[in-house]
Amino acid sequence: MQEKVAFFKEAVKNFKTSGTIIPSSRFLVKRILSNIDFTNSKLIVEFGSGNGIITKQILKKIEPSTTLVCFEINKVFYNELKKINHKQLIVLNTSAENIQQEIEKFGFKKVDNFISSLPLTMLPKELSQAIIENSYKVLEEKGRFVQFQYSTQFLKQFKAVFNRKVKLDFEPLNIPPAFLYLCEK
Ligand SMILES: C[S@@+](CC[C@H](N)C(=O)[O-])C[C@H]1O[C@@H](n2cnc3c(N)ncnc32)[C@H](O)[C@@H]1O
């Protein structure tokens, strides 16, 4: 409960970049992760980790040889994420569009899977487009980019970048209910 209250306070203060006021429900987190193949992944990237509600569950699922890199621009959330202190976790206080140069610093060229809860509809159009395109560029063949949103507004943009290989899923047990974009390279 304490974590939820802390998230609420920070999210309200930064509504334009958080895009919500409560963390994802356990039902939504479960549905997101059920769409990821965690086997044989060298690198998994999470965008917009917030206070780590999805991050902690990803860490329970990854293999010992997998690295998880989180991108979070909010300094308070970044500091919370650092406290998770897991040897397979790298937390970055930088924006998602810098994906390529950031993973290269750690010796990675490709990402096996992306999990994103970025509030794309609240970001400047050029920024959201750059994030989707830059992510596609570094995604492994057959890799997945799983994004949740509260609308289907971004379906067209994702389909354009992912050559139409995008499916929709839906989780009603979240506030608000959420659509999942399941994009494959
Ligand atoms: C909807 S919240 C999701 C929080 C958490 N993952 C969850 O599911 O409850 C979106 C998060 O994205 C972060 N964010 C917004 N723009 C970002 C960007 N360009 N790069 C990285 N993180 C960003 C916000 O600070 C916020 O923590």
pLDDT of residue 18: 72
Identify the band that residue 2 occupies on the pLDDT scale cut at 50, 70 and 90: confident
Nearest alpha-carbon partner for 44 in 29, 61, 28, 30: 61
Q: Best mutation site among 56, 73, 154 for ligand 1, i.e. most ligand atoms within 8 A of its Cβ? A: 73
CA-nearest residue for atom 14, ligand 1, is 48
Cα of 74 from ligand 1 centre, angstroms: 8
Q: What is the mean pLDDT of residues 27-34?
A: 97
Kindly list the domain boundaries of the chain, sorted by start residue.
23-184
Answer yes or no: CATH 3.40.50.150 is held by domain 23-184. Answer: yes
Strands 89-92 and 111-116: unpaired
Burial (CB < 10 A; 0-12, 13-18, 19+), residue 176, is exposed
pLDDT tens digits along 56-72: 999 999 999 999 999 99
Phi, psi of 82 (to 5 degrees): -60, -30
pLDDT tens digits along 101-131: 999 999 999 999 999 999 999 999 999 999 9
CA dihedral 19, 22, 25, 26 (to 10 degrees): 110
Identify the band that residue 31 occupies on the pLDDT scale cut at 50, 70 and 90: very high
Residues paired with residue 145 on neighbouring β-strands, in sequence order: 114, 183
